[in-house]
Structure 1
Amino acid sequence: MRQSLFAAAFAALCLPATAVSAQTLRIALASEPTAVDPHYHDLTPNNALAQHIFDSLVSQDEQQKLHPSLASSWENDGKNRWTFKLRQGVKFSNGKPFTAEDVVFTFCRTLKNETKVSDSFADVTGNFASVETPDPQTLVISTTNPEPLLPNLLSALSILSAGIVEHGPISYDVAKNCGVTGPWPTVSGFNDGTLAIGTGPYKLKSYVRGSAIELERNPTYWGKAEPWASVRLLPVSNAGPRLAGLLAGDYDVIENPAARDLGRIRGDKRFGHVVTPSTRVIYLQLDVARDQSPFVKSEDGKNPLKDPRVRQAMSLAIDRDAIVKRIMDGAAEPAYQYLPTGMFGTQPNPPKLAYDPAAAKKLLAEAGYAKGFQLTVATTNDRYINDSQITQAVAQYLTQVGIKTEVDAMTRAIYFPRRAKKEFSVALGGWGSATGEAASFLRQWPPTPNEAKTIGGSNYGGYKNEQFDKVIREAITTLDDAKRAALLQEAGKLVLADNAFIPLHFESGIWAFKSDLTVAGRADQFMLAMSVKPVAK
């Protein structure tokens, strides 16, 4: 035994430097996670980071197909009752066994999260009438309204350890604090690593905002061990430095290189790349409710965005094909609805959203704004692919038809809290379907919010359409797939006709990497170390 250990140690010392360094994977991120807390903000970079450290009951693969994770199986009774059987033998990174109690605590925490942005994940758990645990490995969820997509929705909800708080017996009794006797966890406790205890393939080593996120392999992980002993996630918001770092050998993988640089990457045998169509729609959200909107100025003192003719004119003023070709360099598709054609609940042949500046000017004149008005569009400059450039192009198109438009670009850390407070008049947004159905966008953004905030949680523009509300509420509680698809198609048409949410295009995810690696591109655009593997030799 002693001899074999010595031989193994000597062999390790003799390994080439590339093999040793391959134990650390260096990834340059286009958009930095805003927190380690998996419930802080339902945001793609945050959710992607969370999947390294935490697991959910259900997982999604690269094409968003569902697979067992912390739940080994699940079934529905045809109505409101779901039963999940939990995986046995799973431990948290601190050695504590995983049980149904941890899941119940997690559900409660989404409703007791004082440091969250918006109503992240509470829209799912807010529909739970009861959660029972007949035994440590069984979870029974009864929903207030039927929820045909509950496994899909739970795939985005990271499970925490109940051991991070002081508590007595845990139960899903929100009025009685669910059995928690101490303070509820806040975002700072996750960011400093104290509370970042999960069952995922990696553990958090350090999180330094604006610098790097350091992960290390979790030795207690229940699944197959990842090939990387450690992972460094480095925020590099500008595409130029990301590509330069890859070419110089500073990074192993980069997110979203500029599409115009793909030719250079293709021509260099040292690197590979993958382009994967995504479900993320880039769109404009308009303030259609307030009589005076903060970033709109018109001669009559009113909010022109309340007029459907003005909103239609804005859509007609935008050349989507030109944005896709010139700004996105072809790595996108024009959007004529809120989810790519062919996905569940979409229109099979949506009419093209026309580019017609003359018609736009005519509609503005009919609405009483022949001389136009002034408008500021808010946008991130570090979240979506070419987000600020896209917004600048939109501003130019609107200005050409008489709507004098300026752009207010800011980091996502500033933008998202401001948007949640309804501080903008027009805002550029992006939304990827977490469920793979049209319901994802249609239940989150356009509905009039209900009291439980299970729908309409992101309706920052005050959109209200009673017919749409009726249809979408029926759609999301309909278990019959054919009926639900028809209802979702109808709901989508109603929203499109009102132009309170103006779709622009669907992003494609792009990854570039060293040629001795493979990267599985994901439709949800998650950058996961688990998607990166060494090339077999």
Structure 2
Amino acid sequence: MTTPRPTWLRRRRAALAAAGLLLAAAAPQAATAQSLRIGAGAPATSLDPHFHNNGPNNALTMHLFDRLVERDARARPQPALAEGWTQISDTVWEFRLRRGVAWHDGRPFTADDVLFSFERAPLVPNSPGGFGAFLRMVARAEAVDPHTLRIHTRQPHPLLPVDLGSVSIVSRHAGTGAGTEDYNSGRAAIGTGPYRLGEYRPGTVAVLLRNEAWWGGAEPWARVEYRFLANDTARTAALLAGDVDVIDQIPSSDLARLKRDPKVTVSEIASLRTMFIAPVHSIAGNSPQATDNAGRPLPQNPFRDLRVRQALSLAIQRDALVERVMEGAAQPTAQWLPEGAFGHNPAVRPTPFDPDRARALLAEAGYPEGFRLTLTTPNDRWPNDARLTQAVAQMWTRIGVRTTVEALPYSAFVPRRTRQEFLVQMAAWGSSTGEAINYLVSIAGTADRSRLTGAANMWGWSDPQLDAMTAEASATLDDAAREALLRRAVAHYVATTPYIQLLQLTNSWGLRRGLVHDPRMDERTVAMGIRPAP
């Protein structure tokens, strides 16, 4: 008996077909021999799908592993390994698991694998930012039978299906006793996803081979070569030369040129990713990265003073960043979601440019002559990250905070960021769930392993009032009431300015003519959204 495809997959394929994204049904044999070459702007750091909750890792590993719930290109939850779910009570959910699903090695997928994944995901050693936040409300889970899972939440939690869209399911038989290195080597990288692993060379390339037995139906690409091309110029050149078929993170300086090129198609969508400046709050005393104008370390961390954070925000010309650095591929913002997303507060506008008020606030905080500062950034992770940081540094210097930029490759930046070696840095976050709680819990929430909050809060911010607002919203079942609570939390966040919000990005991809693409708001570049044109 053929396993029925889930509604989301039927809808996705119907939508892709309507946009010209599916192969013509009369030519299935042509699809079986096709290969796809992707040039990704940011390298994945691991094939362990529970190691690091960041965009490049999630994009690559979702080829190999599935989730109970999938999120489509517009971040809407859809059935996947769970073909459906029912809320039995305010705190009990039952998930019906898909039958006939096999791991890449042929062994059957069961509810026991989900239990193992829930146990493993929050506890991966040395994770620089894990997935525990998505399971924070799970009090316990039980396998009623091999294809029925019952989840008990700690309190009413209407976003459980949305949260589970971030937790990859790994097999107990391959994952027991396996560490992150075993996934990177391929030994434990056995999923249920549309592709299986052919080869992985960290920082260079991953080769993915079609899973002919995928429960969702075989993909058109027999082989996907997923290359990591961090250099912007090299990535664009590779597309124009035909060395790759698709690139992401189109450099803003190349965007207009690629749109005019008849050999290239550009795909764009509003992003769920926001760029912001993140100061470390947990350092109370002095730091060599913040000194007076004579080079002596300041007696205390200036960022612990709200007036300093507000002053630096007022010193930034966000419109100029959009126009001159991002060349239109972003929008100024004071929050972390684009307009129309659940929890976006339309009453909160971007912080206005007011250098006089900024200087006055610095003087009130005890810095009438300003101070010297080092601002750190990766130079190969986000679009124009180093250029954006340099522009902000120049704006801060004009109000008396003489700022030097330290730019590092992302591979060197991450471990130092994890050790809190930077007093202030460029940062970014993509709310892949498409709603406001994801950021509030992971980035702005107090880091607390017992409550699984603040998993990606590497800067020590803690605001009990904001935590309480987040908890109340998370437990509110009524959608309208929950959104009203989230809008209050957004306004409180802006008033306290834990981080300095800059821009909401626009995601862009370049494709060789003859391919069509379903762009994702979560910016992930996946072969499953790319099709030969009919």
User: TM-score, normalising length from structure 1?
Assistant: 0.90
- 1:31 is displaced (CA, Å) by 0.4
> Residues 440 and 112 from structure 1, CA distance in 2 versus in 1: closer, same or farther, beyond 3 angstroms?
closer
The more displaced of 298-307 and 497-506 is: 298-307
- 1:293 is displaced (CA, Å) by 4.8
Give 3-state SS (helix, strand or coil) of 2:509's partner: strand
The more displaced of 185-194 and 125-134 is: 125-134
Q: Is 1:24 paired with 2:18?
A: no
Aligned to 2:91: 80
Q: 1:212 aligns with which of 205, 212, 231?
A: 205
Aligned to 1:310: 308
Task: Give the 5 Å matches for 1:183-222.
Answer: 184-222=177-215
Q: Is 1:268 paired with 2:261?
A: yes
Q: 1:339 aligns with which of 337, 340, 345?
A: 337
Q: C-alpha offsets along residues 481-523 of structure 1, whole Å, 9 cap, x if unaligned?
A: 1221111111111111112211100111110111110011110
> Residues 22 and 519 from structure 1, CA distance in 2 versus in 1: closer, same or farther, beyond 3 angstroms?
farther
Q: C-alpha offsets along residues 305-345 of structure 1, whole Å, 9 cap, x if unaligned?
A: 11111110000011111111111110111112121222211
Q: Which amino acid aligns with 1:275?
A: E
Q: Which amino acid aligns with 1:428?
A: M
> Residues 293 and 487 from structure 1, CA distance in 2 versus in 1: closer, same or farther, beyond 3 angstroms?
farther
> Residues 345 and 413 from structure 1, CA distance in 2 versus in 1: closer, same or farther, beyond 3 angstroms?
same
Q: C-alpha offsets along residues 69-93 of structure 1, whole Å, 9 cap, x if unaligned?
A: 0000012234111110000000001
Aligned to 1:103: 114
- 1:125 is displaced (CA, Å) by 2.7
Contact 2:70 2:80 in 1 (8 A): yes
Q: 2:156 aligns with which of 135, 146, 151?
A: 146
> Residues 21 and 477 from structure 1, CA distance in 2 versus in 1: closer, same or farther, beyond 3 angstroms?
closer
- 1:155 is displaced (CA, Å) by 0.8
Q: Is 1:281 paired with 2:281?
A: no
Q: Distance in 2 between matches of 1:435 and 1:225?
A: 26
Aligned to 1:42: 53
Give 3-state SS (helix, strand or coil) of 1:104's partner: helix
Give 3-state SS (helix, strand or coil) of 2:307's partner: helix
The gaps in structure 1 that reach 5 residues or longer are 1-18, 167-183
Contact 1:78 1:479 in 2 (8 A): no
Q: Is 1:297 paired with 2:291?
A: yes
- 1:247 is displaced (CA, Å) by 1.0
Task: Give the 5 Å matches for 1:237-252.
Answer: 237-252=230-245
Contact 1:287 1:293 in 2 (8 A): no
- 1:131 is displaced (CA, Å) by 0.8
Q: Which amino acid aligns with 1:195?
A: A
Q: Distance in 2 between matches of 1:449 and 1:352?
A: 27
Contact 2:134 2:166 in 1 (8 A): no
> Residues 423 and 228 from structure 1, CA distance in 2 versus in 1: closer, same or farther, beyond 3 angstroms?
same
- 1:165 is displaced (CA, Å) by 4.5
- 1:249 is displaced (CA, Å) by 0.9
The gaps in structure 2 that reach 5 residues or longer are 1-29
Aligned to 1:408: 406
Contact 2:33 2:221 in 1 (8 A): yes
Instruction: State percent identity of aligned pairs.
Output: 40
Q: Distance in 2 between matches of 1:205 and 1:408?
A: 37
Give 3-state SS (helix, strand or coil) of 2:43's partner: coil
Aligned to 2:5: none
**Structure 1: 4+ residue segments shifted above 3 A:** 19-22
The more displaced of 132-141 and 103-112 is: 103-112
> Residues 309 and 112 from structure 1, CA distance in 2 versus in 1: closer, same or farther, beyond 3 angstroms?
closer
- 1:189 is displaced (CA, Å) by 0.6
- 1:145 is displaced (CA, Å) by 2.9
- 1:253 is displaced (CA, Å) by 0.6
The more displaced of 260-269 and 83-92 is: 260-269
- 1:20 is displaced (CA, Å) by 8.8
- 1:267 is displaced (CA, Å) by 2.3
Count of aligned pairs between the two proteins? 500
Give 3-state SS (helix, strand or coil) of 1:511's partner: strand
Q: Distance in 2 between matches of 1:405 and 1:56?
A: 44
Give 3-state SS (helix, strand or coil) of 2:53's partner: coil
> Residues 450 and 191 from structure 1, CA distance in 2 versus in 1: closer, same or farther, beyond 3 angstroms?
closer
Q: 2:139 aligns with which of 129, 147, 160?
A: 129
Q: Distance in 1 between matches of 2:342 and 2:427?
A: 22
Aligned to 2:506: 508
Q: 2:393 aligns with which of 380, 392, 395?
A: 395
Contact 2:277 2:426 in 1 (8 A): yes
Q: 1:66 aligns with which of 61, 68, 77?
A: 77
Aligned to 1:437: 435
Contact 2:447 2:462 in 1 (8 A): no
Give 3-state SS (helix, strand or coil) of 1:221's partner: coil
Aligned to 1:15: none
Aligned to 1:485: 483
Aligned to 1:164: 174
> Residues 516 and 219 from structure 1, CA distance in 2 versus in 1: closer, same or farther, beyond 3 angstroms?
same
Q: Distance in 2 between matches of 1:90 and 1:486?
A: 40
Aligned to 1:169: none
- 1:27 is displaced (CA, Å) by 0.6
Q: C-alpha offsets along residues 382-435 of structure 1, whole Å, 9 cap, x if unaligned?
A: 211111111111111111111111122222222223222322211211111122
> Residues 237 and 393 from structure 1, CA distance in 2 versus in 1: closer, same or farther, beyond 3 angstroms?
same
Q: Which amino acid aligns with 1:297?
A: T
The more displaced of 458-467 and 468-477 is: 458-467
Q: Distance in 1 between matches of 2:32 and 2:460?
A: 52
User: TM-score, normalising length from structure 2?
Assistant: 0.90
Contact 2:379 2:407 in 1 (8 A): yes
Provide the alpha-carbon RMSD of the alignment: 1.7
Aligned to 2:44: 33
Contact 1:450 1:456 in 2 (8 A): yes
Contact 2:131 2:455 in 1 (8 A): no
- 1:198 is displaced (CA, Å) by 0.4
Q: Distance in 2 between matches of 1:349 and 1:454?
A: 31
Contact 1:152 1:434 in 2 (8 A): no
- 1:451 is displaced (CA, Å) by 4.6
Q: C-alpha offsets along residues 84-116 of structure 1, whole Å, 9 cap, x if unaligned?
A: 000000000100000001100111112442242
> Residues 116 and 462 from structure 1, CA distance in 2 versus in 1: closer, same or farther, beyond 3 angstroms?
closer
Give 3-state SS (helix, strand or coil) of 1:131's partner: strand
The more displaced of 122-131 and 329-338 is: 122-131
Contact 2:258 2:266 in 1 (8 A): yes
Contact 1:153 1:434 in 2 (8 A): no
Q: Distance in 2 between matches of 1:510 and 1:124?
A: 27
> Residues 198 and 478 from structure 1, CA distance in 2 versus in 1: closer, same or farther, beyond 3 angstroms?
same
Q: Which amino acid aligns with 1:287?
A: V
Give 3-state SS (helix, strand or coil) of 1:53's partner: coil
Give 3-state SS (helix, strand or coil) of 1:523's partner: coil
- 1:373 is displaced (CA, Å) by 1.2
